[in-house]
Amino acid sequence: METRIIKLCIHGDSRGKLVAIEQLKEVPFEIKRVYYIFDTLPNVRRGFHAHKKLEQLLVCTSGECKILLDDGKTRDTVTLNKPTEGILVSGCVWREMFDFSPGAVLMVLASDYYDESDYIRDYDEFLKKNGKEEYGV
């Protein structure tokens, strides 16, 4: 699975805390796009796709949410609930986001501009591309 947790450094003083993320430093790619997901209801599940090339760092800057990551062979669920920790997702990994707490904000730094042709939104197509057999999902 081409994913890993990235710990982000806190610059704190008596006024509060600050986290900085720079391209090719905390993230191993050039940042072309930033988006964030908020006001997602607790019973909503989003995502349901993989990317062909895009690399992303996902940080839950406020509240909590869960991310299911599936490379066609193994499935992991990661809980994001710290503004100082993100999950780096590279390679063709199926993702679903769910269990958003009230007020959760999921910020995503992406290596490229939005491009619908980079999405694989069909799970069978994803498994075929990864050369894996479906395994009872």
Q: Which residues bind ligand T46 (CB under 6 A)?
A: 33, 35, 37, 46-47, 56, 58, 95, 97, 108, 114
Burial of 44 per CB tally in 10 Å (0-12, 13-18, 19+) = exposed
With tokens 């995503």, the residue in question is 108
Q: Least separation, in Å, of the C-beta of 14 and ligand T46?
A: 35
- Closer of 27 and 58 to ligand T46 (Cβ): 58
- Closer of 19 and 118 to ligand T46 (Cβ): 118
Q: What residue number has its CB nearest to ligand T46?
A: 114
- Closer of 114 and 135 to ligand T46 (Cβ): 114
Q: Least separation, in Å, of the C-beta of 65 and ligand T46?
A: 10
Burial of 137 per CB tally in 10 Å (0-12, 13-18, 19+) = exposed
- Closer of 38 and 135 to ligand T46 (Cβ): 38
33, 46, 49, 82: the catalytic one is 49
49 annotated active-site = yes
Q: Least separation, in Å, of the C-beta of 37 and ligand T46?
A: 5
Q: How far is CA 83 from CA 61, 63, 66, 68, 101, in A?
A: 4, 9, 14, 19, 14
Active site residues: 49
